[in-house]
Amino acid sequence: MKALTIEHLNKTYRNGFEALKDINLTVEEGDFFALLGPNGAGKSTTISILTSLVTKSSGSVKIFDADLDSQMELAKSYIGLVPQEFNFNGFEQVKHILVTQAGYYGVPAKEAEPRADALLKQLGLWEKRHTASRSLSGGMKRRLMIARALVHNPRLLILDEPTAGVDIELRRSMWVFLREINQRGTTIILTTHYLEEAENLCRNIAIIDKGRIVEHTDMKSLLNRLDKETFVLDLLEPLTDSSILNGIAYHQVDANTIEVELHRQEGLNGLFSELTKRGIKVGSMKNKVNRLEELFLTLVERPESAE
């Protein structure tokens, strides 16, 4: 079953700005789906239309076969939204926020309270349950928004930049949590600026740019399209004689660091045997930029040159 079906979706704002141009998109049930795009590409408009915060100009949206126009209540009941900006009542207590949100979805308080308690414990907010939400730290506020989105057990969880401004440790613990939620059957749509996050978590991806979908595929085939990668090599000893690397296309960053660009078919073995032969010892190696990032930059530039 499709968790989301978008057909010919268009949005033109009152000022004439065309935010979405004939968007077609499907997300399978159980998927962990990335919706990526540069700032102003149309990601947030798409999400706002799915969650009824923005009215579409034309086109159709179905959430688990429930049409957003004709079966709005049913369609909305399937969705849990983690928005980009904090949007809870800062004066309300953390637990009240969750129980109230559940009530909007028809979950009675006696059922919502144990659910809220469980989520607060899972997300490390239990100690803060009676605190006014405005007193929480930034990371706690992000977790509160995730708990709020999950309290009515949605089938489709939409996360709009859930880890923006969150430290790496918390970000990784959120990844673990989201993977668990997904494995338990919740379909997840994620937008993020951290492409490493999308590459790590998501199985399928759509890239939106200037209001159009420029790519809609699975993550593996997209990454396979990357035909060259740049690696950063940290050398154990400083490179004093650059002639020692003759024949290898490289760029020296500093005495102990070089960057090497490799075509996919070349593989790493050849490079390492060459370096070993020449007595160069490599301490560590990493990709210069995330692989998805390399592709992303290529893809979002394409329509600009086509227009």
Interacting residues with another protein (CB under 8 A): 13-14, 51-55, 72-74, 76-77, 79, 81, 83, 85, 87-92, 96, 100-101, 103-109, 148
68 or 120: CB nearest another protein: 68
17 or 249: CB nearest another protein: 17
Is residue 120 a contact partner of residue 126, using CB atoms and an 8 Å limit?
Answer: yes
128 or 148: CB nearest another protein: 148
Residues 193, 300: Cα–Cα separation, whole Å: 13
Residues 163, 172: Cα–Cα separation, whole Å: 9
DSSP letters, 68-117, are TTTSHHHHHHTEEEE-SS--S-TTSBHHHHHHHHHHHTT--HHHHHHHHH
Output the smallest distance, CB 15 to another protein, in A.
Answer: 10
Output the smallest distance, CB 145 to another protein, in A.
Answer: 10
* Ramachandran quadrant class, 288 (left: phi over 0; alpha: psi -120 to 50; beta: rest): alpha
Is residue 61 a contact partner of residue 67, using CB atoms and an 8 Å limit?
Answer: yes
Output the smallest distance, CB 75 to another protein, in A.
Answer: 8
16 or 91: CB nearest another protein: 91
- H or E, element range at 140: helix 138-150
Output the smallest distance, CB 121 to another protein, in A.
Answer: 22
Assigned token pair, 258: 């070089």
134 or 228: CB nearest another protein: 134
Output the smallest distance, CB 89 to another protein, in A.
Answer: 5
72 or 244: CB nearest another protein: 72
Output the smallest distance, CB 124 to another protein, in A.
Answer: 22
